[in-house]
Amino acid sequence: MTLNVFANDVYLERNRYSPPEFNARGLRWSNGEWSFLAYTDFLGETSFTYTLPGDHTATVTIYIVRNPAKIHPV
């Protein structure tokens, strides 16, 4: 999964090579795009916050759920 719409629309007014402040396992920032590492052992809610001009912030929250069709009974 790649998350680039928000970064391209809002954050890239700043330096695209400097990531926003974030603390979320499984997210990777590279050249203005977020990627979620699907193999990360994480399910649940994660978020990251952009600091915008004028000391405003914008928080993006992602809900990661397991696809029931991909679960195989043991």
Q: pLDDT by residue (tens digit) across 50-70?
A: 766 677 777 777 777 666 565
Total-model pTM: 0.41
The residue ranking higher by pLDDT, 2 or 37, is 37
At 7-23, the pLDDT tens digits run: 555 555 556 666 666 65
pLDDT beyond 70 at 36: no
**pLDDT at 60 (0 to 100):** 76
SS3 39: coil
Instruction: List the domain range (segments joined by +) for residue 41.
Output: 2-70
Domain count, the chain: 1
How far is residue 64's CA from residue 19's CA, in Å, rounded to a whole number? 21
- Mean pLDDT within 25-47: 68
